[in-house]
Structure 1
Amino acid sequence: MRVVETLSASTGGIGRHVADLAPRLAALGHDVTVLCPPSTAAAHDLAGLDVGPPRRLARLRGVDVVHAHGYKAAAAALPWTRLRRIPLVVSWHNAVLADGAAGRVGRALQVLVARGADLTLGASTDLVAAARAAGARHAALGPVAAPRLAAPTVPRERSRAALGLAPGTVLVVTVGRLAPQKNLGLVLDVAARLAARTDLTFVLAGGGPLQATLAARAAREGTRVRLLGPVDDVASLLAAADLMLLTSSWEARALVAQEALLAGLPLVSTRVGGIEELVGDAAVLVPGGDAAAAAAAVVALADDPARRAALAAAGLRRAATWPDEDEVAQDLSATYGRLVDRRAGGHSTKGRPPT
């Protein structure tokens, strides 16, 4: 089949997902084209693939199926796929969280692409429910592969020494883009509540628009929260840590949560979006925005090495149940084939699952 994977600007998880998926679809015998902005192409390894800008879609011929990742990419592809009667698969990776005009535009795009797509795949069950509420012909939970986790390049004790940690210090790490969705002020709230615990150190790794604001607040309050900025060697940082704290207001399948479990690192996370269905009972989950509950969970784990070890083992078992990149590619390849067969046979997919 001639398959087009299209996405808008993404230097993070969505781009990585497509970069992992496309070559595997090609290895299964499909003719794959990836359409994305130059910034996305530059941020991911797409070597050996047919890559071009999204506007190139109108010039392509012989396309059997288009898979759009995200609302913007789907909205751009929808008119052309309707005109050419080409099956359109749309993956919803994120919720619309914005208020005001941005939120209204985002929700309008949701309705547009839900009603126009032959199949909507949600990265979490709440996204599937949102797609159905928006009028999706058919919506299902979409396969997303667990990330590959590189081996640490720096030994644990050397990393901890570089951070200036005293022996016996419990290192709590948070990794992510410093943006509103991550609700990283909650990390500082937790650290403030635990200011008397001199054996706890908090580290925030990542860059983003809130970096200066968070750094200024940490300095003003004098909490033991260190902002490291962007970190290339996340695996070594996770190996140096004793537990991870995830404070997001919403996540589908949080990349950092998956990395924590894959690294055998105990996780404390807000119970939001698709987190619970991702980690099951292999993490400690607290209500979103609840600093008291998060602080209590951090203290309980900090004071109980045996519980941390048990959670680490449970996390590794849970991670072993997640599909890998090859399984995801095979699943989507079969889904594409069913959609193409139904379209060729003149049968509508409305009301009937194509997966």
Structure 2
Amino acid sequence: MNQPPLRIVHCFRSPIGGIFRHVRDLAEQHSKAGHKVGILCDSTTGSAHEDRLFEQIMPYLELGLTRLPIRRGVTPGDLVALSNSYKQIKALQPDILHGHGAKGGVVARVIGSLLRAKRYRVARFYSPHGGSLHFSRGSASGQLVFAAERVLDRMTDAISFVCDYEQRTYENKIGKPRCHQTRIYNGISDRDFGAIIPEVGAADFVYVGMLRDLKGPDVFIEAFAETERLVGRPLRALIVGDGPDEAKYRQQIEMKGLARRIGMLAAMPVREAFAKSDIVVVPSRAEAMPYIVLEALAAEKALIASRVGGIPEVLGTESPALVEPGNVQALASVMARALTTPGWKRDTMPTPDSFRQRFSAVVMARDMEALYRDRLAQL
């Protein structure tokens, strides 16, 4: 029996990185399935690269794009942001409010609850994407954030985790959710699959992602210097991305005398970045299920990554491509082996066919729609 289309609004803060990619893929797939989709996010974050991504996704946003100032930290301005968001979302009359990340989760669940109090039939969903789960249980800020998550849990119809690791971390730090919970892996679209051949003069290694310490560009710079020592010759690397710590990394490169061998480029389409090298390094200190890992494997790149978040669920828990986060020596050792060992990529990476069967955007969107309809039917 044909079911009516859903009105879906995704709420998140920063239109950069994996959350934005996740929402874009869901929006495209659900729009193609006949649903009406909208986005609400921060207006102060992003660059020309993100502007281009918004242009690409606009044909799939029948409910439009709403951008308001939503600060990263907790500030008095959050009340203004919530008030403005409420007015915008109420006018869209959504069936589904899906919050992504800590701030997006607050917006979707608080506003969804306010609408429910006015007898609107709207289901409230939350995907942490790491977010508040990166806080330490031993810190005062962590305790405050986790207490807020427990309160918001009572205002949630379902939590969708992007990997088993994220689900376990939530239960360990916050507690077992009182609401419905499930795990739906991130997936990528068909156009993301296919080998990307490195361009002429490609670098030995490339880092692609946000320029902030959580993602580990500083670890990458230190490990690159050590890798040169291990292989006994000068190498070349690129850092591709934008973020709040860019100036600090430029200074680090200068201080280590690596300015001629480590270049820095602004964020660009990821498949263009992958043409810059055949070895992609993801040195994150913490992650949930990073899209850069899925994108690199779909492009048939050699991938070296930290053993964090859901990455071992993709590469395998015993993969020799995994290193402990923040361990410069271990990362350099694997970088040197990947560069100098014949057949390292072939012997270490998952096969393209097996990878594609597990991480598909079509499957992700289908499972998410089923979750939406199941929870909405309970209201």
Matched, 1:189 2:222: yes
Aligned counterparts of 2:276 and 2:167: Cα–Cα separation in 1 = 37
Equivalent position of 2:237 in the other structure: 202
Cα pair 2:205 2:278 within 8 Å, conserved: yes
TM-score between both structures, scaled by the size of structure 2 = 0.77
> Could you tell me which residue of structure 2 aligns to residue 178 of structure 1?
211
The corresponding residue for 1:251 is 287
2:370 to 334, 340, 343: 334
Percent pairwise identity: 23
Q: Report the equivalent of 1:121.
A: 160
Equivalent residue number for residue 62 of structure 2: 49
Query: Is the contact between residue 7 and residue 73 of structure 1 (CA under 8 Å) also seen in structure 2?
Result: yes
1:141 to 159, 165, 183: 183
Change (3 A) 1:236 1:89: closer
SS at 1:204's partner residue?
strand
Q: Give 1:8's aligned amino acid.
A: F
CA contact (8 A) 1:267 1:284 kept: yes
Q: What residue is the counterpart of 1:219 in the other structure? A: 254
Structure 1 segment 78-89 matched on structure 2, within 5 A? 78-82=109-113, 83=117, 84=119, 86-89=122-125
Which amino acid is the alignment partner of residue 139 of structure 1? Q
Distance 1:80 1:98, change over 3 A: closer
Q: What is the correspondence of 1:46-85 to structure 2 with a 5 Å cutoff?
A: 46-47=58-59, 48-53=61-66, 54-55=85-86, 56-61=88-93, 63-82=94-113, 83=117, 84=119
Q: Establish whether residue 3 from structure 1 lines up as the match of residue 7 from structure 2.
A: yes
Q: CA deviation at 1:251?
A: 1.3
Larger CA deviation: 66-75 vs 289-298: 66-75
Distance 1:278 1:105 in 2: 32
Write the mapping of 1:219-238 to structure 2, written as runs, cut at 5 A: 219-223=254-258, 225-238=261-274
RMSD over aligned Cα atoms: 2.9
Residue range with higher mean Cα deviation, 95-104 or 83-92: 95-104
State the TM-score, normalized to the length of structure 1: 0.81
Paired residue type of 1:134: G
Q: Which residue of 2 aligns with 1:131?
A: 170
Distance 1:282 1:77 in 2: 38
> Offset of 1:98 from its aligned partner?
4.8
Deviations 1:246-283 (A, max 9, x none): 11001112122112211211111110111101222666
1:109–1:70 Cα change, 3 Å: farther
How far off its partner does 1:325 sit? 2.2
CA contact (8 A) 1:36 1:51 kept: no
Instruction: Name the SS for the 2:154 alignment partner.
Output: helix
Letter in 1 for 2:374: R
2:271 aligned with 1:242? no
**Contact 2:163 2:288 survives alignment (8 Å):** yes
Partner of 2:321: 284
SS in 1 for 2:192: coil
Equivalents in 1 of 2:193, 2:363: separation in Å?
Answer: 20
Aligned length in residues: 331
TM-fit CA distance, 1:104? 4.9
Secondary structure, in 3 states, of the residue corresponding to 2:357? coil
Partner residue, 1:347: none
Alpha-carbon separation, structure 1, partners of 2:325 and 2:244: 22
Among candidates 325, 336, 344, match of residue 307 of structure 1: 344
Q: Does the Cα contact within 8 Å between 1:75 and 1:112 map onto a contact in 2?
A: no
User: Contact (CA 8 Å) 1:177, 1:206: kept in 2 or not?
Assistant: yes
Distance 2:337 2:40 in 1: 47
SS at match of 2:205: strand
Instruction: Identify unmatched segments of 5+ residues in structure 2.
Output: 67-84
- Corresponding residue SS for 2:335: helix
Does the Cα contact within 8 Å between 2:199 and 2:275 map onto a contact in 1?
Answer: no
**Runs of 5+ consecutive residues of structure 1 not aligned to the other structure:** 164-170, 344-355
Contact 1:279 1:318 in 2 (8 A): no
Distance 1:3 1:199, change over 3 A: same
Q: Distance between the aligned counterparts of 1:306 and 1:52, measured in 2?
A: 46
